[in-house]
Amino acid sequence: MKKIVITGMGAVTPLGIGVDTYWKNIISGMSGIDTIKSFDPSELAVQIAGEVKNFNPCDYMPKDLIRKTDPFMQYAYISAEEAIKQSSLEIDPKRTGIVMGTAMSGIATIAFTQDALSGASHKKVGPRFIPKILGNIAAANIAIDHNIQGPSFTVSTACSSGGDAVNMACMCIESGKADVMFAVGAESVLCPLVIYSLANAKALSRRNDTPSSASRPFDITRDGFVIGEGGGALILETEEHALARGAKIYGEIKGCGNTDDAYHVTAPHPEGRGAIECMKQAIADAGVDASEIGYINAHGTATNKGDAVETFSIKKVFGDKMPYVSSTKGATGHMMGAGGITEIITCVKAIETGVIPPTINLNEVDPECAGIDFVANTAKKADIKYAMSNAFGFGGQNSCIIVGKY
């Protein structure tokens, strides 16, 4: 097995743009959730989200590209640019590839375009509509700008998309198809169409009057998740390739897991069947003992069933050797495909800095979730060597990535 290392990271989040800004704000306990500003939400039952704030794409990318891209593509592009810069990578076109993860691609552009078209003329539909909504075009824009000619895949496995992008990128390296892979995740689904559907399914928090405390993972008063948006990117390389070019190494991908509950399209298996197997699979792939995992960045969306089942699953896997666990979705909201990457970055930074980010808005742990230290509200110092990132999605999709200190 080839040792796969992380040499670059990039993040666009509701807590700020750039890995350093994101990390500073996440460990300080800041919330990135507020009333929606990108459109008027006043007639909606849910009016809050974790939006990327003060975002001007002109500050980060060419103007002609902005006109051709959906916001989720812009977040992917900008996070990839930061990761490339951090890695000081000189791209070998045929030995470099990219895997993009996104749950719903350009659904907001689809919804707003249809709204403009209704009762209007066909001229309301721009010629760039199709390439703006396709998931793979996010990867294509990055590949075109950087002449990346190697493996190119786009995965859409609901909320596991980002983690699965990392898994597939590792597979490409391990198979010898590439020396370097970009793993990118991005999402921007904020539109009335998506909000109505999730609100009618009773999946979303309705705490419109107190947005900063609306997302409450593992808390007894939690009432659903908050939609987030953003992007994340990792540069992954073989250790041999990274050392040969003198790259700074931020961490190592130790193990990956991917399973399906084979149970229900939205609800998790009540006994955590897929989640348990996914975590065990990643631990076995990493070649470590469960007791060596010092921190888990939980999926922790603040839904009643999801948080309870994940807690049960973690207890089954780790027993009395329980690591610290926190959900950063209390601060960012649920960033879907993007979260799988930014939460892996969170694990890398936790190992690097010796700081465990908090689960904000956790004031009273639900009895069904008791028995775990969720690092409530205030970050903790801890020397850890390995950390795990969980991402569980609709369709029973489960992803688990373990990163380690290099």
147 C-beta neighbours (distance < 10 Å), count? 11
3-state SS, residue 325: strand
Where is 101: in which H helix or E strand?
Answer: strand 96-101
Residues paired with 334 in a beta bridge = 227
- Catalytic hit among 241, 256, 278, 299: 299
Residues in CB range of 89: below 8 A, 6 or more apart: 7, 8, 180, 235, 245, 247
Structure tokens at 223: 């009432």
22, amino acid identity:
Y
End-to-end CA distance of the chain: 16
Token match 């960012």: residue? 332
106 C-beta neighbours (distance < 10 Å), count? 26
The Cα angle at residue 241 between residues 239 and 243, in degrees rounded to 5: 65
Residues in CB range of 37: below 8 A, 6 or more apart: 51, 53
Read out DSSP for 1-27? ---EEEEEEEEEETTEESHHHHHHHHH
Please give the Cα distance from 173 to 323 (Å, whole number). 30
Closest CA to 234 of 97, 118, 371, 374: 97
Residues paired with 8 in a beta bridge = 235
Closest CA to 326 of 275, 290, 365: 365
- Catalytic hit among 172, 191, 269, 334: 334
Asked about 299 being catalytic, the answer comes back as yes
Asked about 159 being catalytic, the answer comes back as yes
- Which residues are designated catalytic? 159, 299, 334
